[in-house]
Amino acid sequence: MDAPLVIPWKQIGLGFGITLMLCFVAALWPAFTTGRTEPLTLLQLGR
Amino acid sequence: MVPLGDDYRYLVYALIGYPSMVLGFVCLAPLAVLGAERFLAPLLAPLLRIDRRFLAAQLSGNLWRTIGTTVALTVGLGLYVSTQTWGYSMLKPFTPGDWLPDMIVGFPSGLSDDQLMAVRKTPGVAADQCLPMVVEQPKLASDLLGAEKVFSAVRQDNVLLVGVDPEQAFGGEHPLFHMDFKEGSPADAVARLKQGRQCIVPDHFVKYSGLGVGDRFAVLPPDNPDQPVEYTIAGVVTLPGWHWMSKLSGMRSQGGRSGAMIFANFDQVRSDFNLQKTRFLWLNTDGAASKEQLQASFQAIAETSVPPGRPPAGPEQAVRITATEDVRSAIRNRADGMIWGMSQLPLITLGVTSLGVINTVLASIRARRWEMGVLRAIGTTRFGLFRLIIAEAILIGIVACLLSFVFGVAAGWCSTGVTQYVVSSAGWMLPWSSRGSKSA
């Protein structure tokens, strides 16, 4: 049986949403802690 | 197409084709990262209220680590997309298509002409869209579909021959069946079917048998297998979903699977296979009655043939309604569950690989601490820095989505094509029991 190409947009959109959410969540803690770091500390650590 | 055996075709795909495709997409990853940074970062920056210059080198400044994370995410997400694409593409030929009328009604005791008239007048039935049919499931005289060589759902030694009135089924402005003709035309097919032993076959029958319009094949009447009857192909159509409609409606009188649903002239099929009674109707409804009301009306009509004094019909004599929409939604619901089940492992993989995003973001922060310290010193707020780091992670996610989409659709589509060769093979079997007995 020859099957036509079917792209399940809804399901794929769900997968993309999960991926973007995971990326967002993964970056939350590093972003939060970096945001709270004092500028001077960032400069000293980055020398 | 390169002439290859089915097993070799699958092996070439599994050992060379698929790995090459994976390698190709890994090689494309740097391009995807640079492209996203160039074209998508300027779109993302205003959404997060970041100066777009800050995102100009956010990914490429840490290119190889970003590529590693993107490829890792693409493993899970790409498999998820390919599983979904493969699953729903494979489902399409088995889902009842738009060519089908609203329902098949089976009358196990058969219908007289008076009862047929009564059915047509039943409230809820579109009177001019009610088609009686005679159905037989004869064996093919020769192994046309290759059933003896390979195992497949549609490579069987028999076909389902459906006798219908050609004009009502395929002709005129309002035919009952709205079929997509791959070879021949409805008008030509109707004219040919009226001539006698001519038929309309599905496209997969033509593909596996190597026949075409004008070619003939023979079938063996179950009651008289020594006298094969020959039919000439008058047209080739696509019939998505015929398998389930014929199975659930009880049209397969001899049981088991069938290689194809083939349409021929009502009178010709009736005389060739000695079918005295019309046991099935294919009809459209006008919406004036529910399925339950139609069931009750049809049952009442069926019982008018029971002589007075006889006990009422048992369950095996009950009228069976197979509604196209019911079959369609049942298949979709079942398939949704199965495909989702197959997609869970790729999603777990995606969850695990998303930990790599933390690693990449941390490495990026470590490499830019001086730059971030300067930004904070010249007035960038804590939330501004927060948004900048979030933007990088989202950009990585977007690149993974882009790569996964292209890879997943390509892999799913290729797998759909290869699957027909996988199911054709007899399958591998490890003889565990014999191994155990020998070693014992």
Per residue in B58-113, pLDDT (tens digit) is: 788 788 888 988 999 999 999 999 999 999 999 998 899 999 999 999 998 889 88
How far apart CA B288 and CA B176 sit, in angstroms, is 19
Helix B324-353 to helix B355-367 angle (10° resolution) is 40
Residues B72, B107, single domain; the answer is: no
Predicted local distance difference test score (pLDDT) of residue B425:
44
Residues B34, B116, single domain; the answer is: no
Q: Give Rg (Cα) of chain B.
A: 30
Could you tell me if residue B323 is inside a domain?
Answer: yes
**Nearest to residue B166, comparing CAs of B54, B269, B86, B42?**
B269
Answer whether B39's CB lies under 8 Å from B376's CB. no
Q: Could you tell me the two tokens for B78?
A: 């790409």
> Which residue's structure tokens are 């002439």?
B3
Residues B230, B121, single domain; the answer is: yes
Answer whether B372's CB lies under 8 Å from A31's CB. no
Q: Does B416 touch chain A (CB under 8 A)?
A: yes
Residues B275, B138, single domain; the answer is: yes
CA–CA min distance A21, chain B (Å): 8
pLDDT at B255 > cutoff 50: yes
Answer whether B140's CB lies under 8 Å from B158's CB. yes
Fill in the DSSP letter of residue A24.
Answer: H
Predicted local distance difference test score (pLDDT) of residue B348:
93
Torsion of CA B258, B263, B269, B272, to 10 degrees: -60
User: What is the distance of C-alpha B6 from the center of its chain?
Assistant: 21
Could you tell me if residue B156 is inside a domain?
Answer: yes
How far apart CA B85 and CA B306 sit, in angstroms, is 52
Residue-wise pLDDT tens digits, B370-412:
989 999 999 899 999 999 999 999 999 999 999 999 999 999 9
Residue-wise pLDDT tens digits, B318-365:
899 999 999 999 999 999 999 999 999 999 999 999 888 888 888 888
pLDDT at B430 > cutoff 50: no
Task: Please tell me which residue, B306 or B181, carries the higher pLDDT value.
Answer: B181
Q: Does B48 touch chain A (CB under 8 A)?
A: no
Residue-wise pLDDT tens digits, B106-130:
998 889 889 999 999 999 999 889 9
Could you tell me if residue B1 is inside a domain?
Answer: no
Beta strands in B54-116, from DSSP E residues, in sequence order: 103-111
Task: Please tell me which residue, B193 or B5, carries the higher pLDDT value.
Answer: B193
Q: Provide the whole-model pTM.
A: 0.81
Using a CB-CB distance cutoff of 8 angstroms, which residues of chain B are in contact with residue A40? Answer: 373
Residues B169, B248, single domain; the answer is: yes
Q: In whole numbers, what is the pLDDT of chain B averaged over residues?
A: 88
Predicted local distance difference test score (pLDDT) of residue B198:
95
Among A3, A28, A31, beta carbon nearest to B92: A3
Give residue B312's pLDDT band: very low, low, confident or very high (50, 70, 90): low
3-state SS class at B142: coil
Predicted local distance difference test score (pLDDT) of residue B58:
78
Give residue B307's pLDDT band: very low, low, confident or very high (50, 70, 90): low
Residues B87, B101, single domain; the answer is: no
- Closest residue in A to B410 (Cα) is A5
Residues B70, B159, single domain; the answer is: no
Residue-wise pLDDT tens digits, B149-204:
776 777 889 999 999 999 999 998 889 999 999 999 999 999 999 998 999 999 99
Predicted local distance difference test score (pLDDT) of residue B317:
66
> Which residue's structure tokens are 């099929």?
B269
Give the residue from B71, B82, B89 with the most A CB atoms within 10 Å of its CB, the best one to mutate.
B89
How much is the ipTM here?
Answer: 0.93
Q: Does B81 touch chain A (CB under 8 A)?
A: yes
Could you tell me if residue B252 is inside a domain?
Answer: yes
Average pLDDT over residues B125-141: 93
pLDDT at B427 > cutoff 50: no
Asked if A41's CB is within 8 angstroms of B372's CB, the reply is no
3-state SS class at B50: coil
Asked if B84's CB is within 8 angstroms of A15's CB, the reply is yes
Task: Please tell me which residue, A34 or B11, carries the higher pLDDT value.
Answer: A34
Predicted local distance difference test score (pLDDT) of residue B2:
67
Surface-to-core class of residue B84, CB atoms within 10 Å of its CB (0-12 exposed, 13-18 middle, 19+ buried)? buried
Using a CB-CB distance cutoff of 8 angstroms, which residues of chain B are in contact with residue A5? Answer: 85, 89, 409, 413, 416
Asked if B385's CB is within 8 angstroms of A35's CB, the reply is yes
Q: Could you tell me the two tokens for A21?
A: 């959410």
Residues B31, B151, single domain; the answer is: no
Predicted local distance difference test score (pLDDT) of residue B116:
92
Give the residue from B338, B361, B371 with the most A CB atoms within 10 Å of its CB, the best one to mutate.
B361
Residues B104, B40, single domain; the answer is: no
How many domains are there within chain B? 2
CA–CA min distance A10, chain B (Å): 10
Give residue B423's pLDDT band: very low, low, confident or very high (50, 70, 90): low
Residues B261, B391, single domain; the answer is: no
Residue-wise pLDDT tens digits, A19-44:
999 999 999 999 999 999 999 999 99
Asked if A15's CB is within 8 angstroms of B385's CB, the reply is no
Fill in the DSSP letter of residue B174.
Answer: S
Answer whether B213's CB lies under 8 Å from B183's CB. yes
Q: Which residue type does B97 have?
A: G
Answer whether B231's CB lies under 8 Å from B198's CB. yes
Give residue B311's pLDDT band: very low, low, confident or very high (50, 70, 90): low
- Give every CB contact of residue A31 below 8 A, 6+ residues apart in sequence: B361, B385, B386, B387, B389, B390, B393
Could you tell me if residue B62 is inside a domain?
Answer: yes
CA–CA min distance B292, chain A (Å): 33
Using a CB-CB distance cutoff of 8 angstroms, which residues of chain B are in contact with residue A3? Answer: 89-90, 92-93, 416-417, 419
Asked if A5's CB is within 8 angstroms of B89's CB, the reply is yes
Could you tell me if residue B117 is inside a domain?
Answer: yes
Residue-wise pLDDT tens digits, B266-284:
999 999 999 988 999 999 9
Give residue B306's pLDDT band: very low, low, confident or very high (50, 70, 90): low
* Domain limit, last residue, from B331, B359, B393: B331
Answer whether B320's CB lies under 8 Å from B247's CB. no
Predicted local distance difference test score (pLDDT) of residue B298:
93
3-state SS class at B288: coil
Residue-wise pLDDT tens digits, B210-247:
999 999 999 999 988 899 999 999 999 999 999 999 99
Predicted local distance difference test score (pLDDT) of residue B428:
44
Predicted local distance difference test score (pLDDT) of residue B356:
86
pLDDT at B31 > cutoff 90: yes
Q: Which domain holds residue B169?
A: 95-331
3-state SS class at B137: coil
* Domain limit, last residue, from B331, B361, B393: B331
Residues B136, B281, single domain; the answer is: yes
How far apart CA B274 and CA B138 sit, in angstroms, is 12
Could you tell me if residue B420 is inside a domain?
Answer: yes
How far apart CA B333 and CA B328 sit, in angstroms, is 9
Give the residue from A12, A20, A37 with the most B CB atoms within 10 Å of its CB, the best one to mutate.
A12
Predicted local distance difference test score (pLDDT) of residue B435:
46
Residues B128, B225, single domain; the answer is: yes
Average pLDDT over residues B30-51: 91
Surface-to-core class of residue B399, CB atoms within 10 Å of its CB (0-12 exposed, 13-18 middle, 19+ buried)? buried
- Closest residue in B to A16 (Cα) is B401
* Domain limit, last residue, from B294, B316, B331: B331
